[in-house]
Amino acid sequence: MRLSVVGCGYLGAVHAAAMASIGHEVVGIDVDERKIAALSKGEAPFFEPGLQEILTEGIASGRLSFTTDMSAAQGAKVHFVGVGTPQQAGGYAADLTYVNAAVDGLLPYLSEGDIVAGKSTVPVGTAAGLAPRVAERGATLVWNPEFLREGWAVQDTVDPDRLVAGVPTEDGAPSAEGERTAQVLREVYHPSIAKGTPFIVTDYATAELVKVSANAFLATKISFINAIAEIAEVTGADVTTLADAIGHDARIGRRFLGAGIGFGGGCLPKDIRAFSARAEELGRGESVAFLREIDAINLRRRDRAVELTTAALGGSVFEKKVAVLGAAFKPHSDDIRDSPALDVAVRLHGLGAHVTLTDPAAIDNARRIHPQLTYEEDLDTTLRDADAVIVVTEWDEYRRELSPEHAASLARGHVVIDGRNCLDPAAWRAAGWTYFGMGRP
């Protein structure tokens, strides 16, 4: 099938390349000329495992192309919209400028029977507002939210754990047009559905709420265990052992119960804030009022990491060399948007520390935003003569491959702050380190 993907950022570029990898003919469209030039040459504009390979393959096969010309969408059967919905300046609500612009730009090139499939994360009610504009062109809007995990985005697109399609409905059930559009999406995602991926057909509002509800739940689970870590820190309890214990309860589960410096990135923080703002607009702000506290708990964990480092160095980090391991908001990504790791590094620098930061993938992005920090590609150079080491992104290079004995031979002071509770405290202490975890004795 011929597909177009409007918006070639993180979501759109992965979706376009993944759709080409399963056999579709895909054109990716974006207004950013530099990004399109890189993608057209088969160069991934950001780090995402597996993307470079399917991008190169798609370009070489001729099934995948990129352009800044919106007219290239003409002739496609399904048009995916995957543009950003950033947080509004000065507020919590989502900025729909790019979504509206993408749909308006598509309208002149839609044909009778075309499908516009929204993938962007939007406030509930957005699709209902866009659908009439699309229908005027004889096309149909469907909302097909993405559920990508950075670091696993290619896998999550090619082999998702579920697919959701919000379609036009009548009397609570898909209309005839809704059934038709759902069937077309089943054809688009046939390889995944054939392997047993659930395909859930619902109304617009439910499809929109699925995505933000999933993110709100994950954020709540992370902040819950971080709130418990705050109690553990004043009682001497070990939050990691506690999480292991409650994680054995099948109703709870262990995943996302890792205490540390909290979540970040381009999705969870902005999405829970936008969800809160939309609930307020709907007159139901009290229903998700807890999300404001979830956000507050999350931000407090960054404060705690700075406090631990300061206390570990005798009450001041001024003119102390601090080796910061990590800049990306999570491993297997170069994304530094709302990164707790980078935030902690910048705060330590602001307190007068000599911060040397390393990361396997995100150094270039971090340097563009915060050139005041010192960056090192080499881990040994980062550790050399450090008064303290703080792990803030749980890359395998730090949690599994870094020997505490080797690190001790390089650092000047043997103080380690485990901001992700990803190190073995016993091993580091045995190597002569003073170990500080998050919610651990």
From residue 421, give the alpha-carbon distance in Å to each of 13, 248, 251: 33, 19, 24
**108 burial class (0-12, 13-18, 19+ CB within 10 angstroms)?**
exposed
Element (H, E) at 61: helix 51-61
Q: What is the DSSP string of 23-60?
A: T-EEEEE-S-HHHHHHHHTT--SS--TTHHHHHHHHHH
CA distance 374 to 367: 8
Other Cβ atoms within 10 Å of 59 Cβ, number: 19
Buried b (16+ CB within 10 A) or exposed e, 169-188: beeeebeebbeebbebbbeb
Q: Look up residue 406 and give its two tokens.
A: 């080797």
CA distance 103 to 124: 17
Q: What is the DSSP string of 282-312?
A: TT-GGGGTHHHHHHHHHHHHHHHHHHHHHHH
Active site residues: 267
Strands 173-174 and 169-170: antiparallel
CA distance 122 to 115: 18
- What's the alpha-carbon Rg for the chain, to the nearest Å? 23
Amino acid at the residue 399: R
Q: Look up residue 10 and give its two tokens.
A: 């993180």
